[in-house]
Amino acid sequence: MHILIIGCGLAGLSAAITAAKAGCTASVLAPLPPERSESVLAAGGINAALNTKGQDDSWQQHFRDTMKAGADLADEAAVRNLTEHAPALIRELAAAGIVFSRDKEGNPDLRYFGGQRKMRTVYAKAGIGKQLVSGLTAIARRYEAEGKIQLLLHRKFLRFIPAGERFAGAVVENTVSGTLEYLSADALIVGSGGMSGLFPKTTGSCVSSGSVSASLFASGIEMGNLEMIQYHPTTFETPQKRMLISEAARGEGGRLFTIRNGQRWYFMEEWYGKNGNLMPRDIVSQSIYKVCHDMKLGLDGKNQVGLDLSFLSDDIVHGKLKEIADITQTYLGLDPKKEVIPVYPGVHYFMGGILTDRNHRTSIPGIYAAGGCACIYHGANRLGGNSTLGAVFGGRTAAETAFADGQCHHLSENAGHAAEESARALMRDLQGKAGTGKERPGQILSDIQNAVSQHLGIVRSADGLETGETLLAQIGDRKPYFSAGHIADALAVQDLRLLGSAMLSSALFRRESRGSHARTDFPQRDDVNFKATCAAKFQNGRVCIQKEEIGRTFDAG
């Protein structure tokens, strides 16, 4: 059995390794090598109830914290599976040589993270992503040497090719040669990351543009809970992006404040008690928004508050939080041991994405999704440390499911030939577009990003969402220039406009406030009408949104 995997971050690497162990071959498709994937940016840690701190922790408590933070919008069975297997997964990763910070007893060390009252976030100072990616890459390289994994770099996914209703292969663009290629496979696992390309500045990587998810959406795959966008509470802006100040800073004791009546006001502690700085991210971000916009109390008259680490020991600030100290010194020119870090929420993670069932199947048989591109574990808000866990465990589960489904499905020779002919026809059509269109794709994309970001912020309203939809509809009349060798860029702009429209429509459809989705016109949570998945699909030339039962199961084909 041969599996095509899109993305070489944590989800893609985990899926490839699992497939190789099962006796499959895997081709991993990515524009850049693993060391350049968005997963490398993960700073805080990876969650597991190891219970090594004498706090009587358990996977059941991890499960409850995850469900509560996600405002009960995640599939209970999927979250139970994730949290129950997390401790064994950490032990397996450690045994494989992945480096974690250690406590005095030699166990992987743990720290507090938002929304969790127990220490269960395994870390490597503030660079967990680098360690996980490096470790999994080393394992994947061994299978690559055995011919079980093939890394196909400098490729961009364009379209999947079906055989009947099932996946049969994919058309991709080689960004070095500029040629189009058809890759046949028995299954497709998507681990392409979130949808950062729909916003002008996020904490994510520009590589994680969302173009793969957008392409799949344009081709009919269902998406879920696209309105659920996590604004990380502590970021700051640079000319290129928003830089993340990891939740690890508050996990080690950092405090948020602003100035009120001439004195420091630790607003999170006043509103939520002594652990207020470690409330779930949606609550912290919405609280900072309230301080800055509703109360007009932003620090120094700007939309920002202060993060104080100065009272922490030098061993913590320049040891455990070294990466944070380096970032603030490099980009802000300040030492957090001596000066306050100015922060404000920034787009960080997408709880919504490609809709999957608890086994990571999608609405298209033969296509699976895991990691930041998938809607499965996080509901309406993600706990810090659960994204890395969900990516590694999700990639593994997706590969196991793909292998099990593949044992019951075999594409006929005639179907395979028909799929290849469809691919060749598509490639001729795309190549024929070269030289057509009028506008630079980058300019159209910039306008799409502005329309989405201005109307899909921390707080939303019907008027703003409808305005955003109108702007995107108008952009649909503009034609991107298809340049030979850069077909993917023009195609992505068209697809991302549709996906952006689905995001706005999903937020308009959900007439309540839940988790990261805050509506000024519907400020209350409504479990009667909206304790459900908002499913989005592009069909018959239009974006359709409807409610689906949480935990929907898809056909294996």
Residues labelled catalytic: 281
Q: Mention every residue, 6+ apart, whose C-beta is less than 8 A from residue 188.
A: 3, 4, 5, 6, 160, 167, 170, 366, 367, 368
DSSP assigned state of 174: E
Alpha carbon distance 267, 276 (integer Å): 8
Tell me the C-alpha distance between 27 and 157, whole Å: 13
Joined tokens for residue 181: 């290629």
Cβ atoms 501, 193 nearer than 8 A:
no
- Of 231, 502, 196, which is closest to residue 382 (Cα–Cα)? 231
Q: Which two tokens stand for residue 41?
A: 């940016």
Tell me the two tokens of residue 493. 């702009």
Residue partners of 141: CB distance under 8 A and separation at least 6: none
- Rounded to whole angstroms, how far apart are CA atoms 32 and 29? 9
Separation CA 86–CA 49 (nearest Å): 7
CA distance 410 to 394: 24
Beta strands in 144-197, from DSSP E residues, in sequence order = 149-153, 155-163, 166-174, 180-184, 187-190
Where are the strands (E) in 227-373, listed by range? Answer: 229-237, 242-244, 255-260, 263-265, 305-308, 341-350, 353-355, 367-369
515 contacts 349 by C-beta, under 8 angstroms: no
Tokens 């490609």 belong to 354
Q: How many CB atoms neighbour CB 37 within 10 A?
A: 27
CA distances from 60 to 57, 64, 504 (A): 8, 6, 35
C-alpha 468/C-alpha 551 separation (Å) is: 30
231 and 346 Cβ atoms separated by less than 8 Å: yes
* Contact by Cβ (8 Å): 549, 77: no
Q: Tell which residue, 384, 348, 388, has the closest CA to residue 370.
A: 388
Contact criterion met (CB below 8 Å) for 359 and 552:
no
Q: Is 88 buried (19+), middle (13-18) or exposed (0-12) by CB count in 10 A? A: exposed
CA atoms within 13 A on the CB side of 52: 18
Q: Please name the amino acid found at residue 218.
A: A
Classify residue 300 as left (phi > 0), alpha (psi -120 to 50) or beta: left
Question: At 466, which helix (H) or strand (E)?
Answer: helix 462-475
Six-digit token string for 236: 């700051």
